Amino acid sequence: MREIIEERFVLSRDRIREIPAEETVPEPYRDYFQRVAAFLTLAVNPCEKGSSLQEKQEYNRRLYEDILPEHYEESYGNPAYAVKMLGEYGTYFSFLYVEMRGVIVYAAEKRVWDMTVCQELFLEIYSAFCETELPAPDAIREILYWYISDYCEEMAGRRILENIDPSYSFAADIVKSSDLNTIDYLYDYGEYVSENEIGVSRYLASLPQEKIDAMARTYTEGYRMGFVNGKKPLEKKRTVNIRYSLGFERMVRAAIEQFAAMGLQPTIYRAASHAVNKRQHLRIGYHGGIPNKQFDYDHKSDAALFLDEDFVHRKLRAVQNCYEQHREMAAWHAGPACIEIFGEAPFIPETKPESMKLTAQQQKLQINCDNEMSQITNRYIKGDERSFTIIAYPVPEIGEPFGELFEETVKINTLDYKLYETIQQTLIEALDRGEKVHIQGQNGNETDLYVMLHHINDVTRETNFENCVADVNIPVGEVFTSPRLTGTNGVLHVSQVYLNELNYKNLKLTFCDGMIKDYSCSNFPSEEDNRRYIMENVLYHHDTLPLGEFAIGTNTTAYAMAHKYQIQEKLPILIAEKMGPHFAVGDTCYSWEEDNAVYNPDGRECVARDNEVSILRKEDPGKAYMGCHTDITIPYEEIGHIRILCSDGEEISIIEKGRFVLPGTETLNGPLKK
């Protein structure tokens, strides 16, 4: 079989090499095919990058230069340009262009099958344009559709294996065997290498090994404590999925060694390249720099080309079969350990009419597919036996004091969790006296929201809020709950917020009985564009979402750092959510694990794990889970007050005019005063 694939690869590769010199295809289409053929010829020959650092950097630039912002206006990766130059074919050719760019990473990993099917797809469409009569645009769409359909099983199945099978070790081998004191190794991945990856790598190379080990220990120990605190059996597990951005290899290498001491091998998969496995514009898995966020955004809905009921059934069947064939390996998997980055300039995308868009029916299909995928995964990688951890560090793009900011972030990630545990316990004891909480904005913030709390039968044994210290969710600093939906009413507003790599201005959500009733923002001149932006990237095509979480962030040290360096808009939600009250729309914090008991350090059980939507899992999981959970934080200076309203009419103030006033929490105001 491998010999046949290799033969097909050589034949298709050699045929593509001839295309730049051919004039069979008429203009304007000839330019497209010649440019893509030249790119494929370059990409399938990574040996061309040479051995010197300068040669590797030049090769990396050539691979990615076409989609960089300075060249993007005349790139076929830009749907607007493709439609302008190629008319009705433009959207489909732009999709093909994106799929062909995956060849860069397939060549780096020597994945001959993936390169071959891409090359053969390109040649099939090229041949159609070599005929006397041009093919109809629908005929091109059909070719692309059947490419996705025919290879869906292999592409989706490999994605599952990359997560659970440590023998897929391309990235792990680079981390473990490269000379990490140089930056040469960064170019071995096939990913785009920007100044961020270079800067992080060089900075980590300057640190003593003890510092690297300590950073890794914070990360791996947080992961281990997630199992301890959740009373989950880590000893039954054998693999951990490590996710990171290029440049952090020294820390990842130390983490691999520390995980090995726990009996865990790494699985490290790359952010998806095949359209079958992508999730909008998000990069889930390890990755390098992002050459152009607009390029990713322009193609976030490319699934519109192939998403139908047949595709959904085919993909779900492929995932189910792969898990079933490797059920023992799946059961050994412990969950993800993520190293996130922050500091990049906030991105406000341009919405282009030429980009593909999901129809209303396709949006529902996508939601159903995501829900079914989650259910399948949960059957084989059981929620009550897995955990996770997330930690974040800045990249050089954040600004001149990068090294100083990096050190400040390390300090924030290692704050005294015992101190916070005590203060947060004080908050919880007050909150557990309440029936609901009133959040009111100030300084232009229009928030006016009442959040309903669950009834507690026995306050000595039960609590509504989880005391979150530095285990799975680093750094320390929040108490959170899944609120009751009925009676949760009002407006949530934030002047500016950065969610899932996208910037929102004046984001406003109106809730009625805990469900989003209306929404708006001011990113675009058109109200229609603003609503579509939120629908696609916050609601993820759901008609509405529940308020899945209410929390009070207590990490005023992080807040003070953000203001000192003026980086509020550049912080990841992981840190931002600890810097004020926050509200998550979508699933609860306990999604798929509602029946697993959760206890605070004081021994009390957190009983607020369900709401009126998630409880529907007992009847129909498809109605209970949204497949998303997006945190929205209000900064302290925009908080007029947070008050607990008790059933007997008593009011207990937690925050007034942006400062903690509940006795026992005043210590948190120290960093704010500075």
Q: How confident is the model at residue 418 (pLDDT cuts 50, 70, 90)?
A: confident
Beta pairing class for 389-394 and 333-342: parallel
Report the pLDDT averaged over residues 193-200: 98
Question: Residue 390 pLDDT > 70, yes or no?
Answer: yes
pLDDT of residue 576: 87
Residue 475, preceding peptide bond in cis (omega within 30° of 0): yes
pLDDT of residue 383: 84
Which residues have C-beta within 8 Å of that of residue 598, sequence separation ≥ 6?
A: 230, 466, 590, 605, 606, 609
Residue 489: both structure tokens together: 């009413």
Element (H, E) at 430: helix 417-431
Neighbours of 289 (CB within 10 A): 21
Residue 349: both structure tokens together: 């995308």
pLDDT tens per residue, range 532-541: 999 989 998 8
Question: Residue 317 pLDDT > 90, yes or no?
Answer: yes
pLDDT tens per residue, range 627-639: 889 999 999 999 9
- Distance between CA atoms of 597 and 230, rounded to whole angstroms? 8
Q: Within its chain, how far is the Cα of 586 from the centroid?
A: 15
Report the pLDDT averaged over residues 320-326: 97
Dihedral sign computed on CA atoms, order 414, 220, 285, 331: negative
Q: Hey, where are the domains in the chain?
A: 2-135, 170-389, 415-673
Nearest one of 580, 576, 611 to 451, comparing CA atoms: 611
* Partners of 473 in the β-ladder: 390
Nearest one of 389, 102, 109 to 244, comparing CA atoms: 389
Q: What are phi and psi of 83, to 5 degrees?
A: -70, -40
Report the pLDDT averaged over residues 383-400: 92
- Distance between CA atoms of 93 and 25, rounded to whole angstroms? 15
The angle at the Cα of 37, spanning 35 to 43, to the nearest 5 degrees, equals: 105
- Distance between CA atoms of 585 and 538, rounded to whole angstroms? 8
Rounded to the nearest 5 percent, the helix, strand and coil shares of the chain are 50, 20, 35
Nearest one of 470, 610, 482, 493 to 554, comparing CA atoms: 470
Q: How confident is the model at residue 470 (pLDDT cuts 50, 70, 90)?
A: low
Report the pLDDT averaged over residues 321-330: 97
| Cα–Cα distance list, 383 to 358, 404, 588, 596, 646 (Å) | 31, 39, 14, 9, 35
Question: Residue 1 pLDDT > 80, yes or no?
Answer: no
- Distance between CA atoms of 433 and 307, rounded to whole angstroms? 49
Residue 17: both structure tokens together: 């090499």
Residue 112 or 348, more confident: 112
- Distance between CA atoms of 667 and 674, rounded to whole angstroms? 12
Render 591-650 in DSSP notation, one character per residue.
Answer: TT-TTS--B-TTS-EE-----TTGGGGGT-HHHH--S-EEEEE--GGGEEEEEEE-TTS-
Count Cβ neighbours within 10 Å for each residue of 136-157 and write b for 16 or more, e otherwise.
ebeebbebbbebbbebbbbbbb
- Distance between CA atoms of 449 and 510, rounded to whole angstroms? 9
pLDDT of residue 83: 98
Which residues have C-beta within 8 Å of that of residue 329, sequence separation ≥ 6?
A: 164, 165, 239
- Distance between CA atoms of 584 and 588, rounded to whole angstroms? 8
Question: Residue 293 pLDDT > 80, yes or no?
Answer: yes
Q: How much is the pTM? A: 0.90
pLDDT tens per residue, range 94-142: 999 999 999 999 999 999 999 999 999 999 999 999 998 999 999 999 9
Percent of the chain with pLDDT over 90: 82
* Partners of 651 in the β-ladder: 645
Nearest one of 319, 161, 340, 321 to 239, comparing CA atoms: 161
Question: Residue 518 pLDDT > 90, yes or no?
Answer: yes
Task: Give the 3-state secondary structure of residue 588.
Answer: coil
pLDDT of residue 156: 96
Render 234-299 in DSSP notation, one character per residue.
Answer: GGG--EEEEE-BTT-HHHHHHHHHHHHHTT-EEE--BPP-SGGG-BTTB--SBB---S-HHHHHHT
Contact 626, 586 (CB under 8 A): yes
Segment among 168-177, 190-199, 229-238 with least mean pLDDT? 229-238
Contact 74, 350 (CB under 8 A): no
pLDDT tens per residue, range 137-174: 999 999 999 999 999 999 999 999 999 999 999 999 99
pLDDT of residue 48: 67
Q: How confident is the model at residue 388 (pLDDT cuts 50, 70, 90)?
A: very high
Q: How confident is the model at residue 471 (pLDDT cuts 50, 70, 90)?
A: confident
Question: Residue 391 pLDDT > 70, yes or no?
Answer: yes
**Sheet hosting strand 547-553, strand order edge to edge:** 466-468, 478-481, 547-553, 581-586, 629-633
Segment among 120-129, 327-336, 500-509 with least mean pLDDT? 500-509
What's the Rg (C-alpha) of the chain? 26
Report the pLDDT averaged over residues 41-62: 88
